[in-house]
Chains A and B, each alone.
Chain A
Amino acid sequence: MNPGLRILSPGLGLSVQDMGRFGVRHLGVPPSGVLDDYAHRVANWLVGNAATCATLEMTVSGPRIEWLTTADIAVTGAGMGPRLNGSPQRPWASLRVRPGDVLELGLAENGCRGYLALTGGIGVPEVMGSRSTCLGGGLGGLEGRLLVPGDLLPVGQGELLARPRCLPWTPIYPDHHLLRAIAGPHDFLYSFSGGLERFFTTTFTVSPRSDRMGLRLAGDVVERDAGAPTGIVSEPVVPGNVQIPGDGQPILLLKEQTIGGYGCIATVLSADLWRIGQIKLGDTVRFVRVSLEAGQRLGSEWRDFLATTERLLATGR
């Protein structure tokens, strides 16, 4: 496959991601994939791709990229002030690039992660059904690693747009995040101590040592019940699980872990997982308790919203 772009500088953490790797969790292979799937999907739809195409996930500081082919591209997610050959461009909109063009993205002004989609998607080979980079396993993406200067990336097959597209609204990422969550699976370890109530009323701050594995939160100590164990016999985890380790400071698990040995007090709704991808160091987080029934209704509404957005971008209505 011919290379479509060259990385001149990668910014802070640049990787190839798609919707994730499924069906191999029981073999210890985590799903990986984009952390903000909303911005990733919109980027793909803006250039006429399916949501499953691979994009580049940019973290905090964006890359500089030289184009080797003609393509439609779109930059979404965190506001990184895209410039093409030096002139400012509109994010959340399609943009035609030609060989020799240089795209440059800066520091995120709001949010944490940007997404760059292009016609046909990033064409690295699929590994176990996905192009997502899994850093822990050193697999997927380009050689299982973050991108570095000089990397050449292949592009997939796709057709250029007949007319440009743009999203008629601009998502803005806050500094204070409300994440809706369902209690469990181990909420019963924190019910008598008042830990569960404290968890849902505390404003936590995002601390350093947060990465694609998980967000570490600092705030009031979430107490376990008297006699409740610090650790549990390791069991499967899902993205959005909130672990409470021995120090009572929550860890919000993302998509790079399949099994864990700490009790999980609550689990963020699948409909809110994309928000976590835009939480940055120093932001504050509160968890809002919802029932399973409400959580599933909200999930279904969110999927309807995504389907409506896809249709709007594809047809203009």
Chain B
Amino acid sequence: MGNRDDSTDNRLPPVDFRISGDRALIAVYGDKVDPAVNERVRRLAALIEAARHPAIEAVVPSYTTLAIHYDPDLIDPATLGGLLRELATQAEHTKIPPAALIEIPVCYGGEFGPDLAAVAAYHRLTDDEVIRLHSQSVYRIYAIGFTPGFCYLGGLDSRIHTPRLTTPRLRVPAGSVGIAGGQTGIYPLASPGGWQLIGRTPLPLFDCERTPPVSYRPGDDIRFRPISADTFWRMAGELRQ
């Protein structure tokens, strides 16, 4: 355990717990999207996982909350609540490894990002300016869901917030990078979708043959690195072998 610093406690609202059925609690740190709030979520998740309590079956972090799935035959809610509060207190003072920074190579525009020009025109920017604004930010993975491996990313520059397409595409290729309103994200699997597509990564983000099937976790950070079409095809070719 690290050094206690009670002044920190006074500034931060305490964690709250809500009941989600007879086998899960939701730990709540707030109701606003905020990297600092999410950092508290990430820290508590890390400590619960490290504790490896036999009654805790799963920990699922999101923006401001995390779900704790438990076996009620092995622990009662009051004992679990006490344990979690203790871990939450520790989490404010304990050093945990920093969030991983995952780099995703993206080929912007052309056949990989058919909506790049439209996004640029919408904001009266050049294609290159959109690419620069999109690839210079570091994005926090607030949550993974919607489809397996799909990241809810925070941190999109407000200068390239762009409405969704009026008519969604029936099929968006796996690896497509898009913008929808104030969000940006990557489609790990081919699916229908209404996001403005600005690029694509040659990396297979989701692979059920791999353990784990994705290389990132909630609470990690992502940065996009622009690559050329040649590099895209070379990487895609190498990855296929």
A contact residues vs B (CB 8 Å cutoff): 22-30, 127-128, 134, 136-140, 182-186, 232-238, 240-241, 257-259, 264, 267-271, 292, 295-296, 299-300, 303
> Which of B52-60, B85-93, B101-109, B116-124 lies at the binding interface?
B52-60
How far is the CB of B148 from the nearest CB of chain A, in Å?
A: 4
Contact A185 B144 (CB under 8 A): no
How far is the CB of B76 from the nearest CB of chain A, in Å?
A: 8
From A22, A26, A257, give the contact of B61 (CB < 8 A).
Answer: A26
Contacting A at CB under 8 A, from B44-71, are 57-67, 69
Contact A296 B22 (CB under 8 A): yes
Given contacts A26-B59, A27-B212, A299-B72, contact A270 B23 (CB under 8 A): yes
Contact B61 A134 (CB under 8 A): no
What are 27 pairs between A and B in contact, CB < 8 Å? Answer: A26-B59, A27-B144, A28-B149, A128-B213, A137-B148, A138-B189, A139-B208, A182-B22, A184-B18, A185-B18, A233-B62, A233-B63, A234-B63, A235-B65, A236-B26, A236-B60, A236-B66, A236-B67, A238-B23, A240-B21, A241-B20, A258-B145, A270-B21, A296-B22, A299-B22, A299-B72, A300-B73
Contact B26 A235 (CB under 8 A): yes
Contacts of B61 in A (CB 8 A): 26, 236
B160 at the interface (CB under 8 A from A): no
From B57, B64, B148, give the contact of A27 (CB < 8 A).
Answer: B148
Contact B212 A127 (CB under 8 A): no
Given contacts A232-B31, A234-B63, A235-B67, contact A26 B20 (CB under 8 A): no
Contact A27 B213 (CB under 8 A): yes
Contact A28 B20 (CB under 8 A): no
Contact A136 B208 (CB under 8 A): no
Once the chains are docked, how many angstroms separate the CA of A234 from the CA of B61?
11
Contacts of B31 in A (CB 8 A): 232-233
From A29, A233, A268, A271, give the contact of B64 (CB < 8 A).
Answer: A233
Contacting A at CB under 8 A, from B103-141, are none
Contacts of B64 in A (CB 8 A): 233, 235
- The residue of chain A having its C-beta at the shortest distance from the C-beta of B214 within the complex is A27
From B76, B189, B206, B218, give the contact of A26 (CB < 8 A).
Answer: B218
B147 at the interface (CB under 8 A from A): yes
From A29, A186, A269, give the contact of B22 (CB < 8 A).
Answer: A269
Contacts beyond the supplied A24-B148, A28-B146, A236-B143: 17 A-B pairs with Cβ under 8 Å: A25-B58, A28-B145, A137-B206, A182-B21, A185-B18, A233-B63, A234-B63, A235-B63, A235-B67, A236-B61, A236-B62, A259-B145, A267-B20, A292-B19, A292-B22, A295-B21, A296-B76
Instruction: State the majority secondary structure of interface residues on B.
Output: loop
B33 at the interface (CB under 8 A from A): yes
Contacts of A299 in B (CB 8 A): 22-23, 72
Contact A234 B149 (CB under 8 A): no
B32 at the interface (CB under 8 A from A): yes
Contacts of A27 in B (CB 8 A): 144, 148-149, 212-214, 217
Contacts of A30 in B (CB 8 A): 148
From B18, B21, B213, B218, give the contact of A186 (CB < 8 A).
Answer: B18
Contacts of A185 in B (CB 8 A): 18-20, 26
Contact A292 B144 (CB under 8 A): no
From A128, A234, A269, give the contact of B21 (CB < 8 A).
Answer: A269
Contacting A at CB under 8 A, from B21-41, are 21-24, 26, 31-33
Once the chains are docked, how many angstroms separate the CA of A184 from the CA of B145?
21
How far is the CB of A102 from the nearest CB of chain B, in Å?
A: 34
Contacts of B149 in A (CB 8 A): 27-29
Shortest Cβ-Cβ A-B pairs, 10 listed: A259-B145, A267-B21, A236-B67, A185-B18, A137-B148, A28-B144, A236-B60, A295-B22, A235-B65, A184-B19
Contacts of B20 in A (CB 8 A): 184-185, 237-238, 241, 264, 267
Given contacts A241-B20, A296-B72, contact A28 B32 (CB under 8 A): no
Once the chains are docked, how many angstroms separate the CA of A61 from the CA of B230?
51
How far is the CB of B26 from the nearest CB of chain A, in Å?
A: 5
B152 at the interface (CB under 8 A from A): yes
Once the chains are docked, how many angstroms separate the CA of A136 from the CA of B60?
19
Contact B21 A268 (CB under 8 A): yes
Contacts of B22 in A (CB 8 A): 182, 267, 269-271, 292, 295-296, 299
B181-202 vs A, Cβ < 8 Å mask (1 yes, 0 no): 0000000010000000000000
